[in-house]
Amino acid sequence: MAEAIYLTIDGYKRLKEELDKLKNEERQRVLEKVAEARSHGDLSENAEYDAAKEEQNQLELKISTLERKLSIATILDEKKVKTDKVYILTTAVLRNLDNNQKVEYTLVSEEEADIEQGKISVKSPIGRAILGKQVSEKVEVRTPGGLKRFEVLEIKFKP
């Protein structure tokens, strides 16, 4: 069974635009590269042709992956986001129990994660640890940087 993918309407539109660009612009560009390389003669010893075909294969794989994601995506209704627990699309205000600093993370899908904007994937170590937690609950998280401990201080929704 396919794994669920949850997207905001903006995330869905962004992936759709990327797919359209790949299919309508990049595919044509790569086909032209393949044709140009093919015109150079013997394909058995044509490194340019091999490279162009590999690029074409990678592009088709990316297109196929995006099409699959879009076909199984569930678009989240931002109007129905609850803040009683940490869910996808909620922002959790956490206190790092080791250094007493506050951090904010908004849980999003893998496709929409952007750490610089404070958006972390629900599949990231911290995302998995805080998903479903309520205010005042504490969690321990194994991250690449070591063990981190947090307390959930607040849960909010920021459209």
Which residue, 65, 60, 64, 62, is CA-closest to 34?
60
Residues 137 and 95 in one domain: yes
Residues 64 and 89 in one domain: no
Residues 64 and 131 in one domain: no
Question: Where among 42, 75, 108 does a domain terminate?
Answer: 75
Q: 132 lies in which domain range?
A: 80-156
Q: Give pTM, 2 decimals.
A: 0.69
**CATH assignment of the domain containing 40:** 1.10.287.180
Per-residue pLDDT of the chain (159 residues; tens, 9 = 90+): 457 788 888 889 999 999 999 999 999 999 999 898 888 776 677 788 888 999 999 999 999 999 999 999 988 887 787 889 999 889 999 999 999 999 999 999 888 899 999 999 999 999 999 999 999 999 999 988 899 999 999 999 876
Note whether 78 and 8 are within 8 A (CB). yes
Residues 146 and 84 in one domain: yes
Q: What is the structure's pLDDT at 1?
A: 45
Q: Provide the domain count of the chain.
A: 2
Amino acid residing at 73: A
Note whether 19 and 63 are within 8 A (CB). yes
Cα angle vertex 136, ends 133, 139, to 5°?
Answer: 55
Q: What is the structure's pLDDT at 74?
A: 87
